């Protein structure tokens, strides 16, 4: 049995649970409970505050955990046991940025020399400042960092940004991105039995991740256009081509990457493709 720590309630929770579901892992989470066991996978869930997860994993209370990369980067140096990122999960993307009050003179990082910077991420900030040879006073506060300049606590802040609207509404402008984060799976060193379960979990996560990045495409094409159409379809191997009942026509099946998908559709239509179906893929096993 492997123990996984997941944020109890917060920005990581919903997508962490959704990922488990997409991996085919079912469990009954009744509100407020701190523990749950999967019915169909050797996995036990612990629901915790996100800041506590790295320490619980390091201490062995949990074996693995889902956490923002910013949190593990911040806490890593204070952990007594090693904890590694074993999989990047692609959700809860955000960045850690420096921001200063709108209208403040800022031409580069050097301008922060001797200034006070409020943050909940002192270690990441310290490292960034050291790399740039800037010495500033770091004020660690645990929340509502964005109000620090307006109450006279600091001249700048370093905080999590996703859209930037919180900064804007507090009269701040983002001046440097110092760290980019997404949700990650962390693990401590494990016994062979537990490692096998993690490997299985990672295999499922990767299959789900690949599937999300691709679409299954089915289309009809006149045989004379097949060559052009096939050249436009970068499938996993080569596309499947089967004859239609109508002579001179074929059905073409392939897999296309999500990001180039709209571009491909336009070109396919131009080349003579008809009846194009685009279908989501649930899992993609290589």
- What, of Mg ion, ligand ATP, none, does residue 119 touch, CB below 5 to 8 Å by kind? none
Minimum CB distance to ligand ATP smaller for 35 or for 113: 35
Q: Which of 64, 89, 160, 255 binds ligand ATP (CB under 6 A)?
A: 160
Minimum CB distance to Mg ion smaller for 166 or for 251: 166
Residue 2 region, left (φ>0) first, then alpha (ψ -120 to 50), else beta? beta
Minimum CB distance to ligand ATP smaller for 71 or for 252: 71
Of 22-30, 44-52, 195-203, 271-279: span binding ligand ATP (CB under 6 A):
44-52
Residue nearest to ligand ATP (CB): 68
- What, of ligand ATP, Mg ion, none, does residue 162 touch, CB below 5 to 8 Å by kind? ligand ATP
Question: In the complex, what is the shortest distance from the CB of residue 51 to Mg ion, in angstroms, rounded to a whole number?
Answer: 4
Round to whole Å and give the CA distance between 59 and 80. 8
| Window 67-96: residues binding ligand ATP (CB under 6 A) | 68, 70-71, 92, 94
Of 6-14, 169-177, 193-201, 267-275: span binding ligand ATP (CB under 6 A):
6-14
Round to whole Å and give the CA distance between 50 and 31. 17
- What, of Mg ion, ligand ATP, none, does residue 94 touch, CB below 5 to 8 Å by kind? ligand ATP
Q: Does 170 bind ligand ATP (CB under 6 A)?
A: no
| Window 90-149: residues binding Mg ion (CB under 5 A) | none
Question: In the complex, what is the shortest distance from the CB of residue 49 to Mg ion, in angstroms, rounded to a whole number?
Answer: 5
Q: Does 16 bind ligand ATP (CB under 6 A)?
A: no
Q: Does 14 bind ligand ATP (CB under 6 A)?
A: no
Which spans of this chain sit near Mg ion (rule: CB under 5 A)?
Answer: 50-51
Which spans of this chain sit near ligand ATP (rule: CB under 6 A)?
Answer: 7, 10-12, 49-51, 68, 70-71, 92, 94, 160, 162, 181
């Amino acid at each position: 049995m492997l123990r996984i720590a997941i944020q109890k309630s917060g920005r990581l929770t919903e997508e962490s649970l959704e990922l488990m579901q997409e991996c085919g892992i079912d469990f009954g989470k009744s509100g407020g409970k701190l523990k749950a066991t999967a019915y169909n996978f050797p996995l036990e869930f612990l629901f915790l505050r996100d800041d506590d997860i790295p320490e619980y994993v390091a201490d062995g209370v949990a074996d693995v955990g889902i956490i923002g990369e910013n949190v593990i980067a911040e806490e890593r140096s204070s952990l007594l046991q090693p904890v590694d990122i074993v999989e990047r999960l692609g959700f809860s993307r955000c960045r850690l940025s420096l921001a200063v009050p709108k209208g403040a003179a800022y031409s580069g990082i050097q301008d922060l020399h001797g200034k006070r910077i409020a943050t909940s991420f002192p270690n990441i900030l310290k490292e960034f400042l050291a790399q740039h040879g800037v010495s500033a006073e770091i004020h660690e506060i645990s929340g509502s960092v964005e109000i620090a300049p307006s109450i006279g606590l600091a001249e700048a802040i370093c905080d999590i940004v996703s859209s930037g609207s919180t900064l804007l509404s507090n009269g701040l402008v983002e001046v440097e991105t110092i760290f980019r984060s997404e949700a990650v799976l962390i693990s401590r060193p494990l016994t062979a039995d537990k490692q096998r379960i993690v490997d299985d979990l990672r295999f499922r996560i990767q299959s789900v991740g690949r599937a999300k990045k691709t679409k299954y495409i089915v289309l009809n094409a006149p045989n004379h256009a097949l060559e052009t159409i096939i050249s436009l379809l970068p499938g996993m191997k080569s596309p499947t081509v089967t004859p239609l009942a109508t002579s001179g026509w074929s059905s073409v099946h392939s897999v296309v990457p999500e990001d180039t998908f709209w571009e491909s559709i336009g070109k396919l239509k131009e080349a003579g493709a008809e009846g194009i179906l685009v279908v989501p893929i649930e899992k993609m096993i290589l």
